[in-house]
Amino acid sequence: MNVEIGLPGQSREAIGRMLNALLADVQVLYAKTRNYHWNVTGPQFRSLHLMFEEQYNMLAEEGDEIAERTRALGVTAIGSMGAFLDHARLHEDGEAPPDAHTMVVNLAHDHEAMIQQLRKDIEVCDEQHNDQGTTDFLTGLMEAHEKQAWMLRAQAAEQR
């Protein structure tokens, strides 16, 4: 069945590619956050363990919402680990988990990278594709990442 939502197929495909790259980034950030949740140690173990759990739960929900938005545009959402790694702009850590402070700093940097990319994607959706729905959706995601980055920066300052 044809997708008739007021956006040309070319725009839907371009936005779908954008959303799939975003989905890949979210999945990499989810895995990193979950890894840190499992492996954090030190005097702030409990607070960081709980913070990381809240964040990976948010990311799991966000990933689902991104995939659903992609599907609503009539584009296939990527779903394999290989595809996530192929499309992601964020990077995994090495094998050994870093110390707790580095974990917090790494996650803050990743959320800030997400915010920067989302700002670019919002502009493209709005100005090039006239897709107010995806623009609004991405703005909400950006605001959520801004809050997470702020909390992580505050936590990193506390650890010094």
pLDDT per residue rounded down to tens, the chain (160 residues): 788 788 788 998 999 999 999 999 999 999 999 999 999 999 999 999 999 999 999 999 999 999 999 999 999 999 999 999 999 999 988 888 999 999 999 999 999 999 999 999 999 999 999 999 999 999 999 999 999 999 999 999 965 5
| Distance separating alpha carbons of residues 33 and 29, to the nearest angstrom | 6
Let me know if residue 62 belongs to a domain.
Answer: yes
CATH of the domain at 24: 1.20.1260.10
**What's the total number of domains in the chain?**
1
pTM of the model: 0.94
pLDDT at position 52: 98
Tokens of 24: 């890949």
Distances from the Cα of 118 to the Cαs of 89, 110, 134, 136, in angstroms? 12, 12, 11, 11
Please give the residue range of the domain that contains residue 147.
9-159
Let me know if residue 20 belongs to a domain.
Answer: yes
Element (H, E) at 122: helix 100-127
| Distance separating alpha carbons of residues 50 and 143, to the nearest angstrom | 21
